[in-house]
Structures are given as C-alpha cells and as structure tokens.
Amino acid sequence: MDLNLTPRKSSFAMNCAHGLKPMLPKDWSEWREKPIEESFTYLRAWQRKLYEGGWAAVSWPKEYGGRGAKLDAAIHFLGRNGARGSAADGEFPGSRLIGPTIIAYGTDAQKKRYIPRS
C-alpha cells in the first residue's frame, strides 16, 4: 500500500483533524493519563461523542457511522490526532477489528444488532 497521500486525501485528513479539535474536552490531557479503572466512564462518554459525530471510525462507510475515508487518509488522520494526544479512535478493538469484520463479512442481522447505524 502506498501511504503517500494525494492532495485531496491529505486535505480530507487535515480537515477532519481540525474539525475534531473543538470537540476535544478541555480536561482531556488530565483524564487520558489516569488508569482505566478511574477513567473508563469518562473515556466511554468521549467515545460515544466521537461515534455520534462520525469520528470514532473515519474509515467506516457513512451508513455505519463513519466518514467513508480511504484507509490511507484514515491512517494519516489517526496519526495527526495521536501526535496531538487526542486519540480520536482510541484503542478500542471494536472500531479497528470487530466492527470492520462485521461490516465486511457479517449477516444483515449481525450488522443490525452490532453496528447501530446500519
């Protein structure tokens, strides 16, 4: 895979990153350093907010709550946000492994049950 971005994909990734910045909670840097036992509820609420805005998994199709980004643009987007410490996608296996597997190979019933925007 060629990870060099075209100007259009680079623009998409940067626009996404800038669009996400105003959503970042003001106390994010404090909470992201806490142990998961203390921060789970906070981080879950943050993930819900990202999902509702289509930011939790930008490479997912729009009909499943994503932004329809190509994989290389999504990787660039995650890198930009990770470098800023905003971790838009989190380290949640659901958005990186389970969800994409269900979208690609799941039955319609599985998609309806596990991918709420289907």
Domain locations in the chain as residue ranges: 7-90
Contact 45, 83 (CB under 8 A): no
Structure tokens at 23: 């959503």
pLDDT in tens, 49-107: 888 877 778 888 988 888 888 877 777 777 766 655 555 545 567 777 888 899 999 99
Tokens linked to 83: 């470098």
Neighbouring CB atoms inside 10 A of 20's CB total 19
Rounded Cα–Cα distance for residues 53 and 48 (Å): 9
pTM of the predicted model as reported, rounded to 2 decimal places: 0.68
